[in-house]
Amino acid sequence: MTNLLLLKCDPKQATKCSDTLNNALEEQIWVQLIAAKSNQKSIPQYLLPKGPGIVIATGGSSGGSHPCLHHTHNLNQSASATSTWLKHQGIEPKNCLILNPLPLHHMSGLMPWWRSRNWGAEHHWLMPQLMRDPVALEKTWHPLFLQEKRPVLLSLVPTQLKRLIFNPAGLRWLKHFEIIWVGGARLSKDLEEIARSKRIKLAPCYGTTETAAMVSILSPKDFLEGKTGCGSPLEDIELRIAKNKTLEIRTQRLAQIRWENTKLVKLSNADGWWASGDIAELIENNQQTELKILGRVDRAINSGGETVFPEELEARFLKEATLYEVPLESVMFLPVDNKEWGQRLIALVRWSKEIDPKNHSIRTNQLKNIVNNWAPAERPCKWFWCPELSPNEAGKWDYSKWKKWVETNSSEFKDCPKGHV
C-alpha cells in the first residue's frame, strides 16, 4: 500500500506546512493538499501509484473541483521549463528571490515554492493579511528592497494586482519586481493599460492544475510594448485548436489521472492530447505561436439562436462601466433557462463602494444604459446586487457557487421578460 498524507494548508502557517510537505516527499509518499477548513476526503491509498507525488485539486471554474495526481517529476519538469524561459529573459533562476502570496493547496501557490526548491533560489511566503494592507506590505519589505540586488519574482492573481496597483503604497511595491506573473483569470483591458502606463513588469500567463502550472507566458518586454494575450508556449508544451475551438495541450508533465466521481480517470487521449475546456486562438507571429484565451467552452450559451460567450461580455461591460464612471468592483453574467430564447443572461453585480439602497434604481438604469445598444441576446434580463461576489483564493470564479446564490436569494430570474430588455 502506498502511504498518503492529508495535509491541511493554513496560509498563516505556510512555512510550517511547506516544511511538512518537503519532509513527506523525502519519505517517498503521496501528499494530498487541501484547504485548512476543507472537509475533502483523502483518495483511497490502494489506488495510488508509486510515489512520491502531490494530489492537488483543480480550480473549480468549470463547475467542479477534482483532485489531480502529479508525480514529483511532473513538477520538476514544470520548474525546469520555467527556468529555461527565465534564462531567455536574461535572468539566472538560482539568483532570484521569490515572493509568494498564493495558497500552498493551489497549483498557483505550490509552484513558486517548488521552483525555489528546484532552482536553489530563496523563497518567502507572504501572509494574506499583509497582502490586504498595501501600506503595511510596503513598510515590511522596503528595507529588503533597498539592499536587494537579485531579481525579485512574484506571482499574483488579478484581484490582488488590482488592490495593489490602485493604492500608492501598493504601486510603489509592485515597481520593485523584475517579473510579476499574473494568471488564474483574465486580465481586464483597463488593468493592462494602467500597468503599462505605470511600467509594471507584468508577465500575463496561462496555466492549469492539470499541466502543473505554466503553459505559456507573455514576457514583460512584450507586455510593456503593448502585446496582449498569454504569450508563447514553454519549451515542453504543444498546443492545437480542436474543431469546437477549444485548446488542446500535449506535454510530458500532464497529470495522468484525476479523481472524479469516486474513481481515477485518465486525462489525455491515446495520442497524449488533453482537452482543456478553454476556447482559444493560436496566432502565428514572426515564427512564434501566441496564445489567446477567449473563455470557457462550458460557459458558452445559446440565446435566441446566437452563441454568446459571457466572459467576453463581462470584460466588455467592465471596460464600458469604467468609461461611464460606474463604481463596479466585479460583475458576472450567468445563464438561466427561458422558454422563448432557450437561455437568457442575468447579471450579478458588486459595487466598488457602498451604495445607498435609495439609489439602486438609478444605478440599475446606469447599468441598463451601458448594454442598451448591445445585441438582444447579450443583454442581461435581470440584475442582482451581490455584495459577496468575488473569486476564490486562487483568483478563479466558482460559477456553480454563484448560480446557487441566485437560486437561494431570489426566484425572479425564472421570469425573465420575453423579447427585448
CA distances from 90 to 83, 179, 227, 232, 357 (A): 11, 12, 20, 17, 54
Count of structural domains, the chain: 2
Q: For residue 148, which phi and psi values (nearest 5 degrees)?
A: -75, 125
The CA distance from 337 to 303, in Å, is: 9
Residue 308 has pLDDT above 60, yes or no: yes
In a domain, 420, yes or no: no
Is residue 67 domain-shared with residue 120, that is, in the same domain? yes
The CA distance from 23 to 29, in Å, is: 10
Buried b (16+ CB within 10 A) or exposed e, 94-121: eebbbbbbbbbbbbbbbbbbbbbbbbeb
Point out the domain boundary residue: 269, 296, 323: 296
Residue range 213-218: average pLDDT?
97
Is residue 282 domain-shared with residue 304, that is, in the same domain? no
Residue 1 has pLDDT above 60, yes or no: no
DSSP state letter for 42:
P
Is residue 291 domain-shared with residue 306, that is, in the same domain? no
Residue 324 structural domain: 300-415
> pLDDT class for 356, splitting at 50, 70, 90?
low
In a domain, 87, yes or no: yes
* pTM (predicted TM-score): 0.83
Average pLDDT of the chain is 89
Residue range 265-291: average pLDDT?
92
Is residue 214 domain-shared with residue 73, that is, in the same domain? yes
119: amino acid identity, one letter: W
| pLDDT for the residue 189 | 83
| pLDDT for the residue 411 | 54
Point out the domain boundary residue: 279, 296, 313: 296
Residue 114 has pLDDT above 60, yes or no: yes
The CA distance from 100 to 395, in Å, is: 14
CA distances from 138 to 109, 175, 203, 267, 410 (A): 21, 11, 21, 43, 42
Residue 231 has pLDDT above 80, yes or no: yes
Q: For residue 301, which phi and psi values (nearest 5 degrees)?
A: -130, 160
Residue range 343-354: average pLDDT?
87
If residue 204 lies in a helix (H) or strand (E), which one and from where to where?
strand 202-208
Residue 413 has pLDDT above 50, yes or no: no
Residue 340 has pLDDT above 90, yes or no: no
CA atoms within 13 A on the CB side of 249: 29
Residue range 2-27: average pLDDT?
94
Residue 417 has pLDDT above 50, yes or no: no
Residue 140 has pLDDT above 90, yes or no: yes
The CA distance from 176 to 180, in Å, is: 10
| pLDDT for the residue 39 | 81
In a domain, 381, yes or no: yes
Instruction: Kindly give the pairing relationship between strand 122-125 and strand 152-156.
Output: unpaired
In a domain, 266, yes or no: yes
